[in-house]
Amino acid sequence: MLHLIPLATLLLLSHATATPLTDPQPLPLIIWHGLGDNYAADGLHEVGDLAIKTNPGTFVYYVRCHDDPGTDSRATFIGNLTEQLAQVCEDIASHEILSTAPALNALGFSQGGQFLRGYIERCNHPPVKNLVTFGSQHNGIAKYQVCGDDDWVCRSWISLLKGHTWSDFVQSHVVPSQYFRATNFSTGDPTPEYLAHSNFLADINNERARKNTTYAANMAALDRFIMYVFANDTTVIPKESGWFAQTNISSGEVVELRDRPIYQQDWIGLKELDEKGGLVFETTSGGHMTFEDDVLEHVFKTYFAPTTTAHWKGAGADVQELMEL
């Protein structure tokens, strides 16, 4: 019986055969966009193109919750994060190209950053070597995003969120509510409602009494975890969430990650990762999601370039082009 081999597989095999063992290619790069964006957006693909230009041979995959860009954009606001993340894990593990790689690099913008961390903690197949996040909400948000005056859809949902954040309906349907984190203003401790009802953040931050040791092991296994905070970010409240810091919204007091139980008791492996030099805190100027190409070029050159210990024979440019058709 004749077995037909998919064209993408043939290209992958032929390129791997032609690539010298002394010329390793960069690991595939997966990129997860932020709230209101979609995987097919021109700006996101410009980032991917820059990654390929900086490290030729990079295979870029744009994470999506739906193949229709409009539906993918709506899924950034409406949906159950647990279900969305499970689907993304399945998509990546079964992807014709990604599944052949020994590891991946990952780049997350805004909420896409903590979602990629969720991928690492909950599934991580293939495993991520280096994770870079920009303006992400790793310690959650204390206030919801301000909507535009004419954005009545956003305003109506935010109105619902403010009064019903911990309802089962909201926690299973409205994405930003699932990384909202409520704390006691005087002690900084998370509230009982948050610990009991948070559908996403309380779990991936291992804040509940019962800890998931796999989460910590997967994060500690990273080569590097680089967290960028935007110096003038007024969209993410508090902006220090991007470094896992705890900020008292009333007083402005900031408790840095290394002074918090999540680090000191190593709930998700950040202390172990830090002790081997893999935890990196970065700042970039500007407001939320505002940066120049040179910042991204630095990331691609410093953290995503191929090395002798983390490389791939590569899928090649032909496969990259094929998968975008």
| SS3 (DSSP) at 10 | helix
Side by side, the strands of the sheet bearing 224-230 are 60-62, 29-32, 104-109, 128-134, 224-230, 279-284
Four-CA torsion 228, 234, 240, 246, nearest 10 degrees: -160
The helix/strand/coil state of 205 is coil
- Core vs surface per residue 259-287: b (16+ CB within 10 A) or e: ebebbeebbbbbbbbbeeebbbbbebeee
The catalytic residue among 37, 73, 110, 274 is 110
Instruction: Give the angle subtended at the CA of 295 by the CAs of 95 and 323, to the nearest 5°.
Output: 20
Task: Tell me how many degrees the CA angle 309-271-282 measures, rounded to the nearest 5.
Answer: 75
Mark whether 233 is an active-site residue: yes
Q: Name the active-site residue from 72, 203, 233, 266.
A: 233
Please tell me whether residue 178 adopts helix, strand or coil conformation: helix
Query: Choosing from 15, 197, 288, 311, which is the catalytic residue?
Result: 288
Please identify every residue annotated as catalytic.
110, 233, 288
